[in-house]
């Protein structure tokens, strides 16, 4: 008996040793440069132990190597980190056919909320992408613009109360409420008013999804890095009550509109077109659709998964961009003055009106936004799955089918090889025709066929808020606030602040328009039924 136990222990130990060696020698055997892993978390131990976020962990791994391609380990799973900007460009664009899937968790049958455009694969992704693309044309966005502007007016009014009272404002929190209100109105077709009622259920759902609990961190890691394990253990994209709430909310909205023939210029209305006809009207002025109760092209669950994607992907990233941009401008008064001067001049040309067309006349503000999302990308990493063997051009390496591909966006965009003095906020590095950076290293919205489908919407949301705030207010750093000394949540995949940025806000004394009260933000805008 004792002999059997001893032999079992010996052989068990030998097997475990062989298994660990076999897994952690994978890149060495394949001839790839690699970063030495540690048992049992591979190269992401600091993230699992809650010492750093995944985005920051991958950034540190990026800095440990000088190779364009380097092997890493996600627990026991081999993956390749791509550090060469030209190879990244090829993967996303010219050689997209080898990398068209993300390789993240998706379980449409048991977890319908997970089956968003971000996660679905193959032909199903291609069909959904081509179906949804017409929802973000210039004409469609222009029709949604009044809703965005109306919400920005509420943001401006809220900040005015703090400015008049001389109170500092927690910039990220208020910008997050603004972004959530826009998502609620434009994508879900509901009025939320998180700006004035921050404890509403819709806002709380976002807080749960972006929470700081260890369970949130482990779920996020597993869904992205070990999706097969997530599927086996039915971890779920979100806690069950979140999925139930979102699906019921979408169901109620769709049923109400179909029953009462309600038409509204928003994304939900375009989903209704898809659901009832299988396509979005090419006519940007056509929003109404005839409901057909017998032939639905999209289920309620499919509609819910798409709108919830924009909630998760858009709320904190848009809020962060607004907040980080103001944070950086506060620390360089000359840049803040230049941005305000440009906004004032644009408003003077257009009688104080902010429109879809004239916010395109702000090249310096565009550069400020680009520099912000370079330094603070909403999602600091992106991944792909190699779907067939890929010989890397100009090398002897072959990426085998099934290999996870990781790109540290923070790594690329903070690399002095690609962006001189990357730690400095320098909007003018984006001067057209005189760019002071390597374009192939700038991917805040990805690139190629699988880039962010809503990137133009995201920029509009950010830009309208900045235009309306910069036109009326001055922003001042708190004495304790220092640039680039920000701390981020450890539990989320996106770059989300741990401690908010407090900013002093004061009404501007003079503008190019004269009286600041003539700002274009004044007044409500009716946006249809």
Local confidence pLDDT in tens for the 529 residues of the chain:
787 777 778 887 777 777 788 889 999 999 999 999 999 999 999 999 989 999 999 999 999 999 999 999 999 999 999 999 999 999 999 999 999 999 999 999 999 999 999 999 999 999 999 999 999 999 999 999 999 999 999 999 999 988 888 889 999 999 999 999 999 999 999 999 999 999 999 999 888 877 666 677 778 888 998 899 899 888 888 989 999 999 999 999 999 998 998 899 999 999 999 998 888 887 777 777 665 556 678 999 999 999 999 999 999 999 999 999 999 999 999 999 999 999 999 999 999 999 999 999 999 999 999 999 999 999 999 999 999 999 999 999 999 999 999 999 999 999 999 999 999 999 999 998 888 899 999 999 999 999 999 999 999 999 999 999 999 999 998 866 566 578 888 878 888 888 899 999 999 987 655 544 444 334 332 223 2
Three-state SS for 27-58 is HHHHCCCECCCECCCECCHHHHCCCCCHHHHH
For 21, how many CA atoms within 13 A lie in the half-sphere containing its CB?
Answer: 6
Residue 359 DSSP one-character state: G
- In this structure, the chain runs to a length of 529
**DSSP state for residue 490 in the 8-state scheme:** S
Buried b (16+ CB within 10 A) or exposed e, 192-224: bbbbeeeebebbebbeebbeeeeebbebbbbbb
Enumerate domains of the chain plus CATH numbers.
128-382+451-518 (1.10.630.10)
Q: Which helix (H) or strand (E) holds 407?
A: strand 404-408
d(CA 518, CA 515): 6
Q: What are the b/e assignments for 432-457, b being 16+ CB within 10 Å?
A: eeeeebbebbbbbbbbbebebbbeeb
> Which CA distances in Å does 400 have to 17, 25, 65, 99, 223?
25, 16, 21, 11, 22
Q: Residue 525: its pLDDT value, please?
A: 26
Please tell me whether 452 is known to bind a ligand. Answer: yes
Residue 529 confidence (pLDDT): 28
Partnered with residue 391 across adjacent β-strands are 398
Answer yes or no: are the C-beta atoms of 97 and 390 closer than 8 Å.
no
Place of tokens 């790109």: 407
d(CA 243, CA 308): 9
- C-alpha to C-alpha distance for 506 and 340, rounded to whole angstroms: 14
Q: How far apart are CA 393 and CA 31, in angstroms?
A: 16
How far apart (Å, rounded) are the C-alpha atoms in residues 204 and 251? 19
Q: What is the pLDDT of residue 521?
A: 39
Alpha-carbon distances of 279 from 282, 345, 488, rounded to whole Å: 9, 41, 41
Count CB atoms within 10 A of the CB of residue 109. Answer: 7
Residue 280, pLDDT score: 86
Write a three-state SS string for 80-116.
EEECCHHHHHHHHCCCHHHCCECCCCCECCCEHHHCC
Q: Which of 225, 240, 239 is nearest to 105 (CA)?
A: 225
**Inter-helix orientation angle 201-209/300-330, to 10°:** 80
Q: So what's the pLDDT on residue 523?
A: 33
Whether 179 contacts 465, CB under 8 Å:
no
pLDDT of 522 reads: 40
**Phi-psi sector, 103: left (phi>0), alpha (psi -120 to 50), beta:** left
Instruction: Report the 10 Å Cβ neighbour count for 335.
Output: 21
Round to whole Å and give the CA distance between 97 and 421. Answer: 35
In this structure, what DSSP letter does residue 185 have? Answer: I
Which residue in 265, 322, 282, 264 sits closest to 458, CA to CA? 322
Cis preceding-peptide flag for 40 (omega within 30 of 0): yes
What residue has token string 């501007």?
A: 508
Helix axis angle for 300-330 and 240-260, nearest 10°, is 110
Nearest of 246, 281, 340, 274 to residue 140 by alpha carbon: 281
Q: Which residues contact 302 (CB under 8 A, 6 or more apart)?
A: 112, 115
Neighbouring residues of 73: CB distance < 8 A, sequence distance ≥ 6: 23, 24, 26, 37, 42, 43, 44, 79
Count other Cβ atoms within 10 Å, centred on residue 31.
11
How far is 157 from 285, CA to CA, in rounded Å?
Answer: 31
Closest CA to 217 of 52, 411, 19, 106: 52
Nearest partner of 268 among 246, 283, 235, judged by Cα: 246
**Secondary structure letter of residue 513 according to DSSP:** T
Task: With H, G, I as helix, E, B as strand and everything else as coil, classify residue 476.
Answer: strand
């Amino acid at each position: 008996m004792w002999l059997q136990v001893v032999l079992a222990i010996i052989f068990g130990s030998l097997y475990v040793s062989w298994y660990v060696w076999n897994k952690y020698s994978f890149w060495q055997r394949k001839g790839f440069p690699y970063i030495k892993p540690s048992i049992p978390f591979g190269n992401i131990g600091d993230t699992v132990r809650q010492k750093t976020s995944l985005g920051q962990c991958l950034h540190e791994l990026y800095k440990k190597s000088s190779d364009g391609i380097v092997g890493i380990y996600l627990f026991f799973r081999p993956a390749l980190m791509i550090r060469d900007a030209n190879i990244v460009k090829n993967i996303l664009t010219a050689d997209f056919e080898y990398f068209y899937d993300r390789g993240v968790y998706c379980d449409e049958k048991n977890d319908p909320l997970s089956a968003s455009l971000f996660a679905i694969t193959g032909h199903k992704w291609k069909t959904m992408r081509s179906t949804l693309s017409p929802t973000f044309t210039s004409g469609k966005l222009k029709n949604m613009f009044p809703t965005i502007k109306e919400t920005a007016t509420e943001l401006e009014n809220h900040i005015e109360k703090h400015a008049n009272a001389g109170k500092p404002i927690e910039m990220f929190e208020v910008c997050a409420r603004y972004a959530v209100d826009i998502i609620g109105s434009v994508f879900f077709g509901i009025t939320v008013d998180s700006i004035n009622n921050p404890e509403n259920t819709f806002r709380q759902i976002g807080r749960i999804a972006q929470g700081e609990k260890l369970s949130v961190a482990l779920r996020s890691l597993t869904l992205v890095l070990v999706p097969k394990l997530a599927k086996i253990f039915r971890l779920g994209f979100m806690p069950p009550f979140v999925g139930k709430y979102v699906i019921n909310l979408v169901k109620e909205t769709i049923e109400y509109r179909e029953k009462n023939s309600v038409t509204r210029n928003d994304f939900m209305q375009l989903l209704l077109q898809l659901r009832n006809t299988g396509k979005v009207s090419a006519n940007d002025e056509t929003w109404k659709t005839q409901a057909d109760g017998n032939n639905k092209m999209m289920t309620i669950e499919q509609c819910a998964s798409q709108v919830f994607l924009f909630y998760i992907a858009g709320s904190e990233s848009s809020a962060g961009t607004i907040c980080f941009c103001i944070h950086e401008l506060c620390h360089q008064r000359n840049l803040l003055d230049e941005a305000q001067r440009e906004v004032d001049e644009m408003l003077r040309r257009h009688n104080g009106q902010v429109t879809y067309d004239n916010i395109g006349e702000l090249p310096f503000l565009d550069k400020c936004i680009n520099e912000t999302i370079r330094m603070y990308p909403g999602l600091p990493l992106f991944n792909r799955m190699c779907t067939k063997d890929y010989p890397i051009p100009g090398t002897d390496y072959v990426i085998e089918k099934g290999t996870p591909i990781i790109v540290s966006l923070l790594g690329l965009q903070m690399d002095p090889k690609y962006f001189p003095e990357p730690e400095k906020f320098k909007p003018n590095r984006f001067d057209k025709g005189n760019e002071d950076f390597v374009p192939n290293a700038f991917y805040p919205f990805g690139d190629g066929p699988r880039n962010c489908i809503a990137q133009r919407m995201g920029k509009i949301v950010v830009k309208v808020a900045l235009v309306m705030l910069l036109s009326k207010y001055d922003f001042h750093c708190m004495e304790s606030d220092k640039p680039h000394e920000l701390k981020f949540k450890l539990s989320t995949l996106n770059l989300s602040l741990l401690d908010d940025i407090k900013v002093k806000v004061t009404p501007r004394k003079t503008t190019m328009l004269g009286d600041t009260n003539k700002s274009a933000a004044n007044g409500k805008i009716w946006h249809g039924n």
